[in-house]
Amino acid sequence: MRKVSELVKFLKDPHTKKVQHYKERYQELDELSDVAVDIGDAEAYKSLQTEMREVFFDYLTAVVVDSIYKLVPHVLIILVISLRWPTITIPFVSWQVSIIGAYIVMYILFHLGKSLVKRIKSRLDKFGEVGFIRGSEVTKIQ
């Protein structure tokens, strides 16, 4: 069971560790670069800046690859849906819209709605309304 959860975690976000490693390495090199400036060592500063550029480009590469991995499922979903329904008709106005445009609009609306619900829920949590109490707070009350 543990191996299955590790596989699912890897497939969900395969480059997280690599991106985090490059980010931490870049921050470390930046701090060392600041120290080199403070002590006035120009050669160390130049060497650190060169290494920082290399780490930064490796970081960018990992981020781009990670973004592609996150984009591929959406492309496959659009492909499968468009094979069956290349266009959809919007009711009431009888407009025909490409499934690609409809998918993108629905994706954006989904995430906007999700963030709106999160904001509303956090504001209602402040008032302590019934049904909006966090699970950890319920165990404290009992």
pLDDT in tens, 31-62: 999 999 999 888 999 999 999 999 999 999 98
Q: Are residues 5 and 27 in the same domain?
A: yes
Residues above pLDDT 90, as percent of the chain: 35
pTM summary value: 0.58
Contact 23, 66 (CB under 8 A): no
Does 17 share its domain with 54? yes
Clarify whether residues 78 and 61 are in a common domain.
Answer: yes
Domain match, 3 and 56 both: yes
Q: How confident is the model at residue 137 (pLDDT cuts 50, 70, 90)?
A: low
Q: Which stretches of 62-137 are assigned E, i.e. beta strand?
A: 87-90, 95-98
First to last CA, the chain: 33
Q: How many domains does the chain have?
A: 2
Do 4 and 60 share a domain, yes or no? yes
* Collapsed DSSP state (helix, strand, coil) of residue 40: coil
Range of the domain at 51: 1-84
DSSP-derived letter for residue 94 is T
Kindly state whether residues 110 and 52 are assigned to the same domain: no
Mark whether 16 and 59 lie in a shared domain.
Answer: yes
Q: Are residues 44 and 111 in the same domain?
A: no
